Chains A and B, each alone.
Chain A
Amino acid sequence: MDDAAVDGNAIGGLLASVFGTDMTTAVGTCGSCGAITMVAELPVYLTEIGTVVRCRSCQSVLMVFVSVRGITCVDLMGLASLS
């Protein structure tokens, strides 16, 4: 994981507000390479535009969160599953 990344712990609050429960111990499956990783262990990039969560193995984008005027748009297209 490169220095610019934090990990899934850092977005525990965002995820809990979106999903209604703690997601840091949830497990995500990458839709590109199939890697199975706990959300807390995923690299997360906090940018001015939004939050990008990548696969730890192949760096594919798994999740994107963009908040505009109090509404959070969620893109989970990179995930095969999240449970």
Chain B
Amino acid sequence: MAGTAVRGRLTWQTATVGTVMDETPQVRTLSLSVPDWSGHRAGQHVDIRLTADDGYQAERAYSIASAPGEPLTITVERLDNGEVSPYLTEEARPGDQLEVRGPIGGYFVWEAETGAPLLLAAGGSGVVPLRAILRHRSLVGSSVPVRLLYSSRSWEDVIYSSELDFPADGVEVIYALTRSQPPMWHGYARRVDRQMLAEVAWPAADRPLAYVCGPTSFVESVAAGLVGLGYPAERVKTERFGATGQ
């Protein structure tokens, strides 16, 4: 019942689309203005709900791309058979209104006090919550060392490339391009595997903390690889998008 929401309970709120920016041909970043936004933590997500003229509703979860304290932004990959992402990536215009519920999640979250050397592993648009973590680290002046291992089909599919080209001090970005590589490519040209993790990941003795986000098969394989390298399972935080992205 509208108007009877219990204070503090997670409810749907109306959001207004601010700016839209293309990241790649398939991926777009949108800023959302929510009047009563409570603020979020790095790594959290929101649910977006769309309602068709006939009342049909579809909702999906999207990771928050911005750091705590920054305006709320999400980055969305278009899925051809999606119910929500085609609207967000192709039709949404500044001023459009949609419904948002969030912020959501207390598990896949990093805060500066958590510290630890961070290993961030992204498959495709799994980089989105990790980018929020990177921005949060920079904004609070944290010096925690970070390695981001980012698996993408091709260089054209890399999200946030202009930002990741100039990482903050103490941040290393390592790419694995799985399908095609630009000429003179010196980075990895295969899927993330055990050998690559052994080369990239902080030694388990450094007590690192890993955040792994992407398609389910990617996350399963990377998480198992890290546990095989001696990472305690509870130090490997995971978020799985399913088969084809969010």
Contact = CB atoms under 8 A, between A and B. Distances in A.
Contact of B104 (A1, A3, A4, A16): A16
A13 B238 CA distance: 17
Interface residues of A, number: 24
Interface stretch (A17-25, A28-36, A73-81): A17-25
B125 to A, nearest CB: 13
B105 A22 contact: yes
A17 B47 CA distance: 11
Contacts of B242: 3-6, 10, 46
A13 B102 contact: yes
Interface stretch (B116-124, B157-165, B169-177, B212-220): B212-220
B184 interface: no
B166 interface: no
B105 A9 contact: yes
Contacts of B46: 13
A66 interface: no
Chief secondary structure at chain A's binding surface? mixed
A21 B6 CA distance: 12
A50 B242 CA distance: 16
A13 B101 contact: yes
Contacts of A22: 104-106
Contacts of A5: 216, 240, 242
A38 B105 CA distance: 12
A76 B191 CA distance: 38
B243 interface: yes
B243 A3 contact: yes
A9 B107 contact: yes
Interface of B: 6, 8-11, 45-47, 61, 101-102, 104-108, 215-217, 220, 237-243
Interface of A: 1-10, 12-14, 16-17, 20, 22, 24-25, 38-41, 46
Given A9-B61, A9-B240, A40-B237, 19 more contacts: A2-B216, A3-B215, A3-B217, A4-B242, A4-B243, A5-B216, A5-B242, A6-B216, A6-B242, A9-B45, A12-B107, A13-B10, A13-B47, A14-B47, A17-B9, A17-B10, A20-B8, A24-B106, A40-B238
